[in-house]
Amino acid sequence: MPKIYVSFVWHMHQPFYKDLVSNEYKLPWTRMHALKDYYGMVKVLEDFPQVHQTFNLVPSMLVQLDEYARGVAVDPFLRCANKDTSSLSDGEREFILRYFFQANVQRMIYRYPRYAELYEAWMAVDENSQRGLRTFNDAAIRDLQVLSQLAWFDEEFFASDSDLRDLVKRERDYSPSDQAMLGAKQLEKLGMVAQVYRDFSKTGQIEISATPFYHPILPLVCDTNVAEIAHPYVPLPPRFRYPGDAKIQLERSRDYMTREFGRAPVGLWPSEGSVSDEALHLAAETGFKWFATDNGVLARTVNQAATPDVTYRPYLWKQDGHEMHGLFRDHTLSDLIGFVYSRMGAREAADHFLNAIRANCAPILRAGRDALVPIILDGENAWEYFELSGRPFLKELYAQIEQDKNMEALTVSEALAKVPAEKIDKIFPASWISANFDIWIGAEEDNKAWEYLLRARETYDRVKDQVREEDRALAFEELLIAEGSDWNWWYGPEHSSANRADFDRLYREHLANVYRALSLNPPEELSRPILKMDVKANHQTPRGPIQPVIDGEVSSYFEWMGAGSYSIDQRQGAMHGQKFLIQELHYGSDGAWLYIRIDFVKGAEDTLRGAELRLQFNSTDVTVPLNATFESGAHEATHLKAAYHHLFEMRIAQRSIGAAQPVKFQVSVWKAGLPLDALPQQGAIELQSHELNEWLG
């Protein structure tokens, strides 16, 4: 009798949050999702031995998880969560208030009465950290430190750990020893994650597949021009074509997974289901035997609608001596789990899902053919929207599958051994989203990110043989990281998140590290966001000529009167991966000299020690060290004078920067070859020549 085979592929992935130079993790989501999802998603199968599944693991995620488990990973969120409340600075308390409510409100925050109470108090002060500092006492902050971490622990951990259950039961009034215990529990539980995959893999109940090491969009790394096939006339950046990098990402992935799990993965979920003939050739050469993507790609490959009859079978891609089996996910059913079933009861959702599969498969079974149903989706992010992290839904779903004699849940490799494949001689180049690459290329921000990557890659090729081997290796590693898909996920108009600015900053830091490793100054462009951030600027244009004394002090209240000023709303624009250093910029002219004053934020002195200012005037670049006094130029036409004490002041001869045209300038702060802050965040401040003429008559 024909049968229904269901192949679940759960994709476990987080971006590479670590800065290789500072060794700090900029965001905590690998740690958080490892606590919440990675362990329990496998462990729940213990009660359903007949349910076999495939888990796709991204090596760069596993590298981060390993460092957390060994206690060597550091992120500012974990530091603030573990630090004794009484010793927290005001800045750390503000950090906690701003970012420790980043969890699903209904399913995670309101699950814990005290967490909900604290959240409502935060809403009552309009999410204003200064008001919050006056409202949240030590007891409230400590409860927030504990509950914001506890809310991310997996249901399976609660079931097996009485200490965690006790923390949940007590609800409030936690102690420093509770904080310390919870910090230790995090490391203990993180250390259990990789092992549960090894254990279930050895029994054959799960298959482990992989993704290229740093999760790049392989077809675009091979050739960005391929995007035009799926979307004719899409605006493209200068061509990026490095198939050798794509091959390295594949080889490193397979080697790493072999070391970690004792066997080489045969399956590949190419990042974001992104495929092309060139990418599949590389994957086949590397040793992968099967790939998976979306049935939207299948529809464009076979030039017909991806009905269940077309989708519910494997395919064999063969071209120029290479071959790979391919599965094409049921887009609709996979998305029902990811985005719809969280709003339904567990039994209701499981019934709907399995009834839909049975209805889709009925004509196939009547025709005497087995049906292979590929269900492929994110294995982590959806569950924070479900009751109890989706465990009731999954248990109901798996129980019903085991009870159905006409249905069997298999790993991908098991299913491929049972169901004959149909041959295809090409693959349409596209991703799982809309069967194109528009998420990652084509928008202004996306294309700028590719341009910066290309310049860094070309710079590496030009100077790599001039640096030490270890520096060359670091630079190349940063390039591979920057090729990851996650940065461009947040560029362009498609996605929004409170963390977009963090991803933008981290991407530019990775590129800046390439230049730094090559003993080069990173280009000034990397000091400014690619992202068009929603940061309000307060800009007052100059009202008259000024002639301040350049001594690093406000010598007189009147000396900067009439100057223009520029600042941004740091409360709105500051993200937890970014620290502002420039409080406000003042500027003006007397017709011969352009004067600039920079007020730095309070407490920035240590950070600024050894830093330098880079000023870009029209086509002239000036670098000024932040020391007591600085003076250059043999005569007035090129003379520059600067002083830094309580603030920074400088003057530069306007003739040397093109006074006949509008003067456009930008200021950025750099240290050890990395950009720390810039003003304006985007664009430039412009001083019109007609304004000078009006002042001077």
pLDDT digits (tens, 9 = 90+) for 403-451: 999 999 999 999 999 999 999 999 999 999 999 999 999 999 999 999 9
ω into residue 243 within 30 of 0, thus cis? no
pTM: 0.82
At 84-127, the pLDDT tens digits run 999 999 999 999 999 999 999 989 999 999 999 999 999 999 99
pLDDT at 213: 98
Q: Is the pLDDT of residue 9 over 80?
A: yes
Give dist(CA 46, CA 380) in Å, integer.
19
**Of 592, 594, 590, whose CA–CA distance to 546 is shortest?**
590
At 324-358, the pLDDT tens digits run 999 999 999 999 999 889 989 999 999 999 999 99
Residue 636 structure tokens: 């007035």
Whether 14 and 26 have beta carbons less than 8 Å apart is answered as no
pLDDT at 577: 34
pLDDT at 607: 83
Give dist(CA 8, CA 586) in Å, integer.
59
SS (H, E, C) 83-111: CCHHHCCHHHHHHHHHHCCCCCHHHHHCC
Give dist(CA 284, CA 269) in Å, integer.
13
Q: Is the pLDDT of residue 683 over 50?
A: yes
How far, CA to CA in Å, does 153 sit from each of 6, 22, 160, 170, 390? 29, 28, 12, 16, 13
What CATH class is the domain 443-529?
A: mainly alpha
**Of 424, 425, 421, 430, whose CA–CA distance to 300 is shortest?**
430
Give dist(CA 624, CA 20) in Å, integer.
27
Q: How much is the CA Rg of the chain, to the nearest whole Å?
A: 28
Q: Is the pLDDT of residue 578 over 50?
A: no
Q: Is the pLDDT of residue 643 over 60?
A: yes
Pairing of strands 582-589, 315-319: unpaired
pLDDT at 321: 96
E strand or H helix at 678, and its extent? strand 674-679
Q: Is the pLDDT of residue 633 over 70?
A: no
556 band by pLDDT with thresholds 50, 70 and 90: confident
How far, CA to CA in Å, does 431 sit from each of 87, 218, 271, 427? 49, 10, 8, 11
295, burial (CB in 10 Å: exposed 0-12, middle 13-18, buried 19+): buried
E strand or H helix at 193, and its extent? helix 176-203
Q: Is 591 left (phi over 0), alpha (psi -120 to 50) or beta?
A: left
What is the rounded (10 degree) CA torsion for 389, 390, 394, 397?
Answer: 170
Q: Is the pLDDT of residue 634 over 50?
A: no
At 213-247, the pLDDT tens digits run 999 999 999 999 999 999 999 999 999 999 999 99
Write down the number of H helices and E strands in the chain.
28, 22
Among 17-31, 398-412, 487-501, the range scoring the smallest mean pLDDT is 487-501
Average pLDDT over residues 512-532: 92
Give dist(CA 451, CA 681) in Å, integer.
19
Whether 565 and 596 have beta carbons less than 8 Å apart is answered as no
Whether 60 and 213 have beta carbons less than 8 Å apart is answered as yes
Query: Average pLDDT, whole number, for the chain?
Result: 91
Whether 495 and 489 have beta carbons less than 8 Å apart is answered as yes
Beta bridge partners of 568: 537
Give dist(CA 551, CA 644) in Å, integer.
7
Give dist(CA 298, CA 303) in Å, integer.
8
Pairing of strands 315-319, 267-268: unpaired
Residue 306 structure tokens: 């991806």
At 290-330, the pLDDT tens digits run 999 999 999 999 999 999 999 999 999 999 999 999 999 99
- Single-letter code of the amino acid located at 146: V
Task: Provide the 3-class DSSP secondary structure of residue 376.
Answer: strand
How far, CA to CA in Å, does 619 sit from each of 373, 615, 659, 663? 59, 10, 12, 10
Give dist(CA 621, CA 616) in Å, integer.
5
Sequence length of the chain is 697
Q: Please tell me what DSSP assigns to residue 370.
A: -
Pick the CATH number of 533-697 from 2.60.40, 3.40.1000, 2.60.60, 1.10.20: 2.60.40
DSSP 48-65: -TT--EEEEE-HHHHHHH
Average pLDDT over residues 675-688: 76
What is the rounded (10 degree) CA torsion for 528, 532, 534, 538?
Answer: 50
Q: Please tell me what DSSP assigns to residue 35.
A: I
274 band by pLDDT with thresholds 50, 70 and 90: very high
Determine what percent of the chain is predicted with pLDDT higher than 70. Answer: 93
What is the rounded (10 degree) CA torsion for 254, 29, 398, 48?
Answer: 70
Q: Is the pLDDT of residue 682 over 70?
A: no
Taking the alpha carbons at both ends of the chain, their separation in whole angstroms is 96
pLDDT at 70: 94
**Of 337, 341, 391, whose CA–CA distance to 156 is shortest?**
391
Residue 15 structure tokens: 């971006």
* Residue extents of the structural domains in the chain: 18-203, 443-529, 533-697
**Of 38, 658, 640, whose CA–CA distance to 383 is shortest?**
38
10 Cβ neighbours under 8 A, 6+ residues apart? 41, 53, 54, 55, 56, 377, 378, 379
pLDDT at 367: 97
